[in-house]
Amino acid sequence: MSTAARRRTGTALLVALPLAFLGYFFVYPLVAILVTALTGGGEEHPVLAVLTRPALLGVAWFTTWQAVLSTVLTIIAALPGAYLLSHYEFRGRKLIRSLTIVPFVLPTVVVGAAFLALLGPGGVLGIDLSGTVAAILIAHVFFNYAVVIRTVGSFWEQLDPRLEEAAMVLGASRWRVFREVTLPLLAPSIASAASIVFLFTFTSFGVVLILGGFGTATIEVEIWRQALAQLDLPIAAALSMLQLLAIGLILAAYARFQQRRARQLDVVGERRRVRPRGRQRVTLAVNLGLMAILLGSPLVVLVWRSLHLGAETTLASYRGLGDRAAGSGLLVAPAAAIGNSLRFALVATLLAVAIGGLAAIVVAYRSGAAGRAFDTLLMLPLGTSAVTLGFGFLVALDAPVDLRTSPWLLPIAHSLVAIPFVVRTAVPVMRRIRSRLREAAAVLGASPVRAWREIDLPLVSRAMAVGAGFAFAVSLGEFGATSFIVRPDTPTLPIAIFRLLGRPGTATYGRAMALSVILMVLTAAAVLAIDRLRGGRSEGF
């Protein structure tokens, strides 16, 4: 076989493996959901039922307005922090900016457990907001605060300050300068942050299920209830497809808005931040205090609650994790969930790195429409909710071989969510590698595989390690898809926490808090490892 033929064969394999994986475990389940929604049901068509039943319309309406309100509240709460971190230089600024990302990377069950400890029955504030919209909104602000800080703050610190200074020289007040100069310039970045927050809150599952329950169900929670509690798969499928359609329309509207509002601006590499003085110090201290209360108090209370049973400070909740009888709804001891999560995360990481690495090679080294289409396909799992993925596995993977009870299915589901992170971290590095290095290796007689192993792999290995870290963290905290396909005898940490929270008893509640702290520590360790591999850079997410 000639060298050109071997190269074509190798390229075909690189494309075929990721395509086959995504085709069977992503596209096929979505098609199965669509078929179920269009052909299932009895006398009433599922789609018609979703569009006419008052209860289901109420779920759709609640999902929409709580997402809008959550987005508005998050923007209002985080804009002052974005301003302070982009305009002022003070001791600990970089550390504070890095710490704001912690809530965003926490698993949703940890966030839910933290706010139950703070605002739930017996919470330290003495206010029980569980089952209310208020608890959900506060948790959503906590969870998405970093999106605004990073997206708007990074853009804000690059705006040319001379635009604002010119307006002030002409006599405009600070408020008028912000309203008529700064705010219009920030509009694209605010819209970008708002679209991300809206999508996260529109598809919110774990936070709503733990804090709100079925009384405040979003579409995600209703899909879960219809599929697993009511066993009405056609209705769940119709809800899934309508939600995907809504998300597509939202993304299209956002893209059109960004295109219409795109403008060329004079930017600076980084705004020259000033030291706060006088009243600025007071303003800074107040805002940092509010930031600490919003972002820090739920996590501090979570740790505190895991160390207390009643008024007694004790490690009993942690010691009780090894007791099988303490499972209270689990078939194994709660501590077994730790090992399960670590094993599943390791397998999911290996799958994501293998499939994502092959896909990244194709995206990085192939240009044109085919390469862009392949890249878009790889990103689609990020725009699909984990609940929809899990539900798709439930309705699709029963034939020709029933994989729904396979222990491999859970890490496969986790890897689908993680593959885009691997691709996005590896592709930019691969594209920066000069093709002349490979050409020189070819001239010296190296095969394409050896040239890639000797030249590309050492340069891209750090990026792949970052992608692996993201995959590991995503798998540890994944709850939506897992809730559909997890086996009763192998619960993961999020599943074990959710089940313990649903059982009565102070001791059981304490063990749920202890498992939440362990999951928080494991996730934080993965994120810190990512940050170290990236050389401490904190830009973006």
Would you state the pLDDT for residue 455? 63
What is the three-state SS of 76-97?
Answer: HHHHHHHHHHHHECCCCHHHHH
pLDDT of residue 29 exceeding 80, the answer is: yes
Residue 294: which of 93, 515, 539, 73 has the closest Cα? 73
Global confidence as pTM: 0.83
Alpha carbon distance 335, 500 (integer Å) = 12
pLDDT in tens, 392-422: 888 888 777 777 778 888 899 999 888 888 8
17 by DSSP, 3-state: which? helix
State the helix-helix crossing angle for 28-39 and 386-396, rounded to 10 degrees: 80
Provide the pLDDT for residue 539: 42
Beta bridge partners of 161: none
How confident is the model at residue 452, as a pLDDT? 62
The stretch 185-209 carries a mean pLDDT of 85
Q: Which of 335, 312, 338, 314 is nearest to 325 (CA)?
A: 335
Residue closest to 389 by CA, chosen among 208, 203, 522: 203
For residue range 283-318, what is the model confidence (pLDDT) as tens digits?
Answer: 888 888 888 888 888 888 888 988 888 777 888 888
Residue 540: the pLDDT is: 43
Average pLDDT on 258-272 reads 55
- Give the rounded percent of residues in the chain with a pLDDT score beyond 70: 81
pLDDT score for 537: 46
User: 541 pLDDT band (50/70/90 cuts)?
Assistant: very low
Predicted pLDDT at 73? 94
Q: Where are the domains of the chain?
A: 12-28+311-541, 44-306
Residue pointed to by tokens 């071989």: 401
Q: Read off the pLDDT of residues 332-382 as tens digits, 9 standing for 90 and up.
A: 788 888 999 999 999 999 999 888 888 887 777 766 666 677 777 777 787
- Return all residues near 59 (Cβ < 8 A) that are at least 6 apart: 217, 218, 219, 222
SS3 268: coil
Same fold, 12-28+311-541 and 44-306: yes
CB 321 within 8 A of CB 381: no
Please write the tens of the pLDDT for every residue from 58-106.
888 999 999 999 999 999 998 888 888 877 777 877 778 777 877 887 8
Cα separations in angstroms, 342 against 154, 319, 413, 538: 34, 20, 15, 26
On average, the pLDDT of the chain sits at 79
What is the Cα–Cα distance from 227 to 245, expressed in whole angstroms? Answer: 19
Q: 434 or 46: which carries more pLDDT confidence?
A: 46
- What tens digit of pLDDT does each residue of 144-154 get? 988 888 888 77
Please give the Cα distance from 537 to 535 (Å, whole number): 6
- Residue closest to 220 by CA, chosen among 51, 62, 24: 62
pLDDT at residue 433, as a whole number:
62
3-state secondary structure of 158: coil
Helix (H) or strand (E) holding 259: helix 233-261
Question: Token pair of 8, please?
Answer: 């074509």
| Backbone phi, psi, residue 140, to 5° | -65, -40
- Mapped onto helix, strand or coil, the DSSP state of residue 222 is helix
> What digits encode the pLDDT tens for the residues 108-157?
888 888 888 888 887 777 787 888 888 899 999 998 988 888 888 777 77
pLDDT band at 536 (very low <50, low <70, confident <90, very high): very low
| 477-481 average pLDDT score | 87
The hierarchical CATH code for the domain 12-28+311-541 is 1.10.3720.10
Q: Are 520 and 106 in contact (CB under 8 A)?
A: yes
Q: Give dist(CA 437, CA 119) in Å, integer.
A: 59
Q: Which residues contact 528 (CB under 8 A, 6 or more apart)?
A: none
CB atoms under 10 Å from CB of 235, counted, come to: 26
SS3 106: coil
By percentage, how much of the chain surpasses pLDDT 90?
8
**The pLDDT value given to residue 258:** 61
The contacts of residue 251 (CB under 8 Å, 6+ apart) are 195, 199, 383
Q: For residue 159, what are the β-bridge partners?
A: 267
Do the Cβ atoms of 38 and 47 come closer than 8 Å? yes
Beta carbons of 426 and 364 less than 8 angstroms apart: yes
Q: Which two tokens stand for residue 37?
A: 């929604």
pLDDT of residue 67: 92
* CATH fold label, 44-306: MetI-like fold (1.10.3720)
User: How far is 530 from 535, CA to CA, in rounded Å?
Assistant: 9
Q: Are 306 and 313 a contacting pair, CB within 8 Å? A: no
In this structure, the strands spanning 308-309 and 312-313 are antiparallel
Query: How far is it, in rounded angstroms, from Cα 232 to Cα 221?
Result: 14
Mean pLDDT computed over 250-276:
62
User: What single string gives the DSSP state of each residue in 360-420?
Assistant: HHHHHH--HHHHHHHHHHHHGGGGS-HHHHHHHHHHHTTSSS--TT-TTHHHHHHHHHHHH
Q: Rounded distance, CA 247 to CA 54, Å?
A: 22
Interior/surface letters 62-75, b for 16+ CB within 10 angstroms, e for the rest: bbeebbeebbebbb
Q: What is the mean pLDDT of residues 165-188?
A: 73
